[in-house]
Structure 1
C-alpha cells in the first residue's frame, strides 16, 4: 500500500496508525515523503520513497514552521470569525494549480517504481496520477467529517455552526465558500480533465464515488444521525498510532507541585502565533493547576510560567492518559485521542475543521468552546475549574472511553482495505 499524505503531522500521523495495522497483517506500507520527513517513519517499520526535490518544492528543514507561518500570513489566524476568514482567502488559482501539478507529476514518476496494489491518499484534492494508475484508491480524511462531502442536511465544513442552529447561516456560509472557490475549482477541473480524468462535481475538488473513504470521528460526535453516508464511507472511532519507541513521565519539578494536571496544545500550526501563546500562558499562570505545554516551532520566543513544563513537541498519546483536562485548538487528532482516553476538553479553534470540532464538542456536552483570541482571563480560568469539577461529565467520558477502547474499530482497517482492493464493486457502484 502506497500512502500519499499531506506532509504535515495532522495528516501523516493518522496514516501511520493505518500503516501499523497494515504491517501487523503482513502487508507492505510505503510512504511518499520529502526530505523533511525522510527517516522519521522507519521506526514504525514503514518503508519510505522520496519525492524528488525537483518535483515537489519544499522549504528546508524548518518546513513545519514555515508552513505554519504561511497559514498565519493568509489571514487564518486572529479575531475574525470563520465566515470572515473564508472571505479573506485570496483566490489564487495559479498558485493552487502549480502545487497540485508538482505533486501529481511526482506521484506519476513514483508509481511505476513502487507498483502499489492500493493507493491511500490523505489529501484535500484529488491527484489525477492516482486515479489514472488503475488500482483501487482509499481516501483517508484527517479533517472534520463535514469536510468529506457537503450535505445540506448538516452544517457546512469549517463554519463552526451548530447542527441545531439557524440553517440560514448554513446557506450564507456555503455561498461564501462557493464564491471563494469558484476560480480555483474551474482551473482545477480543467487540469483534471486535461489529464484524462472525468469532470469533477461542481465546487468539489475530488470525485467521491471513485474512492473508499475512511475517517476517524467517535460515534458520539458523528453526524450520521442527520446525514447518513454511502457504503463507501467507513467511520473509525480514532486513528491513533502507537508510540512504543517513546516514553514519557511528568518531569519531577512539575510532579512535585500541587493542583490537577492539564495538557495545553494549540497544535503545530496555531502555536506559531507567539503573541497569542504568550497571552494564554499568562492567563494559565494564574491557575492553581499544573500544565504540560506543547510549545510549537517558535518555543524559544516565549517563556512558560512556574506551574508549567513544555517542549517544542510532546508525545501526545503518552501525555493524555496522565492528565485531567485538555486545552486544545480542536484538531481532529487531539479530539479523537482525548475522547479515547476520556478527557474533557476546552476547544479554542483557530481555523478550518477546528471550528466544527469545537462546536460539536460543545453541543454534545463533552467540553466547552472558547474563542482563542477573545476569551477573557475570567472565562478561561472559570471553565477550567468547571470541567475539572464536573463529576457527571467525568463519568460520561469514562463510559465513552471504555466503549471506544473495547470496540477497537481501527483493528478492522487493514481487513477493510484488503476487502476493498479485492472487490471494489462491493463499496463503489
Structure 2
C-alpha cells in the first residue's frame, strides 16, 4: 500500500451465511492489503464478523419482516412455508417463487431506507453489494458499486446461450427446455417485477430491464466460480464481469480435529452438509442420516438450526454448524446441497462431490458438477438408499477422478485469484469507466 490511499470499503450483503461468507473472504484480503472493510450487520452477525477483525455498522431489525431476513432458523422456516425447501422440482419451485419475491423486495426496501441514512456518515470509497435485487440508495449515492454474485453465474447473467439460472438444466441439453423454463419465470415474475420497478423509478433510478431486478450496466460484477465449471466458453462476458476461482475465507481463529471416537472407527471420512438453511427439513435429514448409517464410512455432519430434533448414527459426529474450511482438507468426499461456497471450496481442496440440490442455483451447480465429471447429482428427496450408497462408493474408488481433482486443486491454489481482488477494486475506484460506461 506504499503511496496509495487506503480505501474504505462498505460491504452490504444479505445476512445469510452463503452471502456473508464470500464477503468475508474478500474483506480479509482487502484488510491484508491495507484497506478498511466495514459491514452493515446486526447483533447476530456483529460478533461473528469481529472474530475476523471486521468492523460493523449496526442495522435495526426489519419491522417489515419481523427480523426473518436475519435469523437462519426463522428464515429457513419461511423458505419451507414458500415451498422452496421441500421435494418439489426446480420448475415447480418457479411457480412457488411469488411469495419469496415479495418477501425479498419488501426486505430490501426496508434495508434501502437504512442504507440511505447510513451512507452519509460512513462515506465509503466503494460499496460491495451481495444482494438479489437493486438497492437505490447505493445506485443514487454516486459511489462506485461492486456487485458480488453469491448466487452463481447463471443467476448473475441470463443469456440465451446458456441454461436459465435455477433450472438445473444441462448446458448440453435441449434449448427448447431452456426457453420453456425462461418463459415460465417471466410469467411468474411479471407483476412483482412491475411493482418493484415502479418503486425503483419512484426512488429516482432508471427503469430496470424487463423482468430483471437490477440494472447490470451500472456495476462492476465479480463472482467466484472455478474455470473448470464456468460457462465463458459458451458465452464470453463483458469487461464489467470478472471471475475469481473462489472467495474462500480463512478461519485461522477456528480449530477442528476429528473427534477421537470418530477417528478410531474404520472407513473413509465424508463431510455431509446441506448448508445453513436446507437442514431445517428435519424429516428429510432423518431419512438421509438413516441411509448413511448403513455405509461402512464415517461422516462429519453439519446438522443445521434444528440439530436438537434428530439424532446421528454411530458412524457420525455432528454439530449445528462446523468450520467447513477446517473440515474439507480432512475428508475424502463431500455430500452437499450444491451451494456455491461449498462447491468452490471443495474444488479448492480437490474433493469429489455428491450434489443434492434443494433450491435456487444449487440445481445449476449440481448439474454442472455432474456434466463436468467432478461429482454426481442426486435428488435430495427422492434418491434411494441404493443410489446414495452406490454413489459414495463410486466416487471414493475413482482414482482417475482423484487425479483430475488434485490437478484442479493445484491450479486453483497456485493461481490464488483472490489475491488479485484488492488491485481490481483499487483500479475500479480510480477509473470506473474502464469497466462500465
**TM-score normalised by length of structure 1:** 0.98
For 1:335-354, what aligned pairs fall within 5 Å after superposition?
A: 335-354=343-362
SS of the equivalent of 1:268 reads coil
Q: Structure 1 residue 53: deviation in Å?
A: 3.2
Q: 2:434 aligns with which of 402, 410, 426?
A: 426
**Cα distance change of structure 1 residues 285 and 91 upon mapping to structure 2, 3 Å threshold:** closer
User: Contact 1:92–1:184 (CA<8 Å) still a contact in 2?
Assistant: no
Post-superposition offset of 1:60: 7.9
| Alpha-carbon separation, structure 1, partners of 2:241 and 2:395 | 34
User: What CA distance in whole angstroms lies between the structure 1 residues aligned with 2:153 and 2:20?
Assistant: 17
Match of 1:228 in 2: 236
Instruction: For residue 123 of structure 1, report the CA deviation from its aligned partner.
Output: 0.1
Cα distance, 1:314–1:92 mapped onto 2, change above 3 Å: closer
| Aligned: 1:26 with 2:34 | yes
Matches within 5 A, 1:400-415: 400-415=408-423
Equivalent of 2:263 in 255, 261, 265:
255
| 1:2 maps to 2:10 | yes
Q: Spell out, residue by residue over 1:255-306, the C-alpha distance to the aligned partner (whole angstroms, 9 max, x if none).
A: 0000000000011110110000000000000000000000000000000000
Aligned mates of 1:243, 1:320 — CA distance in 2: 12
How many pairs are equivalent?
A: 429
In the alignment, the residues of structure 2 paired with residue 97 and residue 235 of structure 1 have an alpha-carbon distance, to the nearest angstrom, of 27
With over 3 angstroms needed to count, the CA separation of the structure-2 counterparts of 1:94 and 1:243, relative to structure 1, is closer
Q: Which runs of 5+ in 2 are unaligned?
A: 1-8
How many Å separate the matches in 1 of 2:216 and 2:185? 19
* In structure 2, distance between residues paired with 1:25 and 1:381: 46
What residue in structure 2 maps to residue 380 of structure 1?
388
The alignment partner of 2:387 has SS state of helix
**CA offset at residue 92 of structure 1?**
7.6
Matching residue of 1:170: 178
1:136 lines up with 2:136 in the alignment: no
Displacement of 1:51 after TM fit? 1.0
Instruction: Indicate conservation of the 8 Å contact 2:30/2:422, yes or no.
Output: yes
Asked if the contact 1:91/1:184 (under 8 Å) is kept, the reply is no
Output the TM-score relative to the length of structure 2.
0.96
Query: In 1, distance between residues paired with 2:132 and 2:281?
Result: 24
8 A Cα contact 1:91 1:180, kept in partner: no
Q: 2:340 aligns with which of 332, 342, 345?
A: 332
Q: Cα deviations across residues 181-232 of structure 1 (Å, max 9, x unaligned)?
A: 1111101111111111111110111110100000000000000000111000
Deviations 1:326-380 (A, max 9, x none): 0000000000000000000000000000000000000000000000000000000
Q: How far did residue 99 of structure 1 move?
A: 2.0
Aligned equivalent of 1:307, options 297, 311, 315: 315
Does the aligned pair in 1 maintain the 2:166–2:364 contact within 8 Å? yes
Whole-Å separation in 2 of the counterparts to 1:80 and 1:318: 33
Over aligned residue pairs, what C-alpha RMSD do you find?
Answer: 1.4
Query: In 2, are the aligned partners of 1:105 and 1:129 still within 8 Å (CA)?
Result: yes
Residue aligned with 2:371, SS: helix
Matched with 1:367 is: 375
Alignment check: 8 A CA contact 2:64 2:106 kept: no
Question: Unmatched 5+ residue regions in structure 1?
Answer: none
Deviation of 1:87 after TM superposition, in Å, equals 1.4
Deviation, structure 1 residue 34: 1.6
Partner of 2:3: none
Paired residues for 1:153-302 under 5 Å = 153-302=161-310
Match of 2:109 among 86, 95, 101: 101
SS of equivalent to 1:2: strand
